Amino acid sequence: MSQTMTEKPSGFCFELSEDHKMVQKMVRDFASEHLAPRAAHYDRTCEFPWENVKKMAELGLMGVTVPEELGGAGMDSLAYSIVIEEISRACAATGVITAVQNSLGEYPLMAFGTEEQKKKYLPLMARGEKIAAYALTEPGSGSDSASMQTRCELQGDHWVLNGQKNWITNSTGAEIFIVYATKDPDLKHKGICCFIVEKGWEGFTVGKHEETLGVRASGTCGLTFENCKVPRENLLGVEGEGFKIAMQALDTGRVGIAAQAVGIAQAALDNALRYSKERQQFKKAISEFQLVQEMLVQMAVEIDAARLMLYRAALKRDSGEKFTKEASMAKLYCSEVAMRAALNAVQVHGGYGYSKEYPVERLLRDAKVTQIYEGTSEIQKLVIARELLRD
């Protein structure tokens, strides 16, 4: 997959362009043939889905917005959102792996990297030869990222990193880590620097895999830095401006998580529709009962609205304008819709929905984290309020 998106949809009451529809069909067909059949396996085993990643790399899905000359597909954020939605509709763990690679991994390099850094790392990431992770969160700093304690100190030609990170998606598969550390915690966000750290560097270890409720194959681990030497040229962006890189990366990341949530919600509706037409009670399909229809309708209406909010955030990003508010609004709403849709899908399935025989219990577990990672719903509300009051 490699193309330049020339045709843009106009306004928000739109149909996708032919280019975007092509991407949607291609990824939908691929995901239902290759990703969906293995989603339960990866959920059960928590294995990092290398087979999925390899196939997605062949299709250009590991570097959707990276320019073609740097090995990417050179597409826009709307295409990226469609890709993440379709992947997540089949396998939400694979969805977040792809989202982190594209947004939290590649975006900071594209936006803040030097020419050398871009040439060295982006082609490897965009071609899926190396997986990326984003290390911001720490045991003591989740929502309050600026209070991080991981230290960085310049010693001659190297920065030296010491500290701990946790809940780092992609860690078991990643070889490139975008790591945030502070010169001095008292400087709060003004002391934070961003580094490109490679797996295998002395003093850097990936901890044990975390057993999570959902997206269980997302390779989530803690990281430890003990006098880890990072070459000076691997500082990303300007010293002391790492927090802005982190926040801008999260703006793009939140569009990806909104897309993941829409994908999970759509999968919930797909399953609820299929099951309600098959399942007979009181001598008719349960889809004929209006109380069941009410749940299906609520899901369908909310998913439509969520998808429009997602597309709006992606289009705003593509326009080059600030899209912090739209990204947080989309993430907040789409993740709520994913949770409600997954709950409704379980309810439509009754007792079977509560068992591992059907995928809807997995969708419910997967949906929950979309309200937590890349900023909790409460943090999205805070960001939206600040943006509203700033206008």
Residue 172 binding ligand CAA, by CB under 6 A: no
Does position 168 interact with ligand CAA (CB under 6 A)? The reply is yes
The minimum distance between CB 384 and ligand CAA, in angstroms, equals 10
Contact status: 371 vs ligand CAA (CB under 6 A): no
Q: Measured at the alpha carbon of residue 246, what is the angle toward residues 177 and 317, in degrees to the nearest 5?
A: 110
Could you say which of 2, 4, 143, 293 contacts ligand CAA (CB under 6 A)?
143
Q: Which is nearer to ligand CAA, 106 or 251 (CB)?
A: 251
Q: Is 136 in the site for ligand CAA (CB under 6 A)?
A: yes
Q: Which is nearer to ligand CAA, 204 or 373 (CB)?
A: 373
One-letter-per-residue 3-state SS of the chain: CCCCCCCCCCCCCCCCCHHHHHHHHHHHHHHHHHHHHHHHHHHHHCCCCHHHHHHHHHCCCCCCCCCHHHCCCCCCHHHHHHHHHHHHHHCHHHHHHHHHHHHHHHHHHHHHCCHHHHHHHHHHHHCCCCEEEEECCECCECCCHHHCCCEEEEECCEEEEEEEEEEECCCCCEEEEEEEEECCHHHHHHHEEEEEEECCCCCEEEEEECCCCCCCCCCCEEEEEEEEEEEHHHEECCCCCHHHHHHHHHHHHHHHHHHHHHHHHHHHHHHHHHHHHHCEECCEEHHHCHHHHHHHHHHHHHHHHHHHHHHHHHHHHHHCCCCHHHHHHHHHHHHHHHHHHHHHHHHHHHHHHHCCCCCHHHHHHHHHHCCCCCCCHHHHHHHHHHHHHHC
Nearer to ligand CAA among residue 337 and residue 384 (C-beta)? 384
Stretch of 38-46, 52-60, 175-183, 239-247 contacting ligand CAA, by CB under 6 A: 239-247
Under the binding rule (CB under 6 A), the answer on residue 247 touching ligand CAA is: yes
Question: Per CB under 6 A, does 373 bind ligand CAA?
Answer: yes
- 250 is an interface residue for ligand CAA by CB under 6 A: yes
**Pick from 38, 189, 312, 365: which binds ligand CAA (CB under 6 A)?**
189
Q: Least distance in Å: CB of 39 to ligand CAA?
A: 19
- Is 175 annotated in the active site? no
Euclidean distance between the first and final Cα of the chain, in Å?
A: 39
| Of residues 181 and 346, the one with the C-beta less far from ligand CAA | 181
Q: Which is nearer to ligand CAA, 69 or 144 (CB)?
A: 144
324 makes contact with ligand CAA (CB under 6 A): yes
Q: Is residue 166 a contact residue for ligand CAA (CB under 6 A)?
A: no
The correct pick among 248, 298, 347, 377 for binding ligand CAA (CB under 6 A) is 248
Residue number with CB closer to ligand CAA (20 or 165): 165
> Residue 386 CB, nearest distance to ligand CAA (Å)?
7
Stretch that binds ligand CAA, among 3-11, 68-76, 134-142, 155-163 (CB under 6 A): 134-142
Closest by CA to 171, choosing from 143, 131, 112, is 131
Among 115, 374, 378, 387, the one annotated catalytic: 374
Among 195, 243, 275, 333, binds ligand CAA (CB under 6 A): 243
Asked if residue 251 binds ligand CAA (CB under 6 A), the reply is: yes
Of 126, 125, 112, the C-alpha closest to 243 is 112
What residues are annotated to the active site?
374
Q: Would you tell me which residues interact with ligand CAA (CB under 6 A)? A: 100, 134, 136-137, 143, 145-146, 167-169, 189, 243-244, 247-248, 250-251, 324, 373-375, 379, 382-383
